[in-house]
Amino acid sequence: MASGCRDCGTCTKPGLARLLQNWSAGFLHLCSCGISLAIKRGAMRHCPQCKHLLSNHQRRQDGSFRD
């Protein structure tokens, strides 16, 4: 089952690593009363395919996605 995109560092992590990353991010969003979540959703660019941050995606020298 393929989900996400192959250029994304988050999508290509093992399942346990993604689980721990999601738990820690959720805990930090909870500790900051949702301010960090609002900043992440509103001010940062996301991939249209997997909805993760574009900064976690691998790119070529010219700036295009590695695909």
d(CA 35, CA 44): 13
The reply to whether 24 falls in a domain is yes
The reply to whether 10 falls in a domain is no
Domain of residue 28 covers 15-56
The reply to whether 40 falls in a domain is yes
pLDDT at 67: 58
The reply to whether 5 falls in a domain is no
Residue 65 pLDDT class (50, 70, 90 cuts): low
Domains held by the chain: number: 1
d(CA 5, CA 24): 22
Give the pLDDT confidence of 25-55 residue by residue, as tens digits.
Answer: 999 999 999 898 898 888 888 888 888 888 8
- Entry pTM: 0.66
Task: Provide the token pair at 46.
Answer: 């996301």
The reply to whether 38 falls in a domain is yes
Give the pLDDT confidence of 2-18 residue by residue, as tens digits.
Answer: 467 888 888 888 999 99
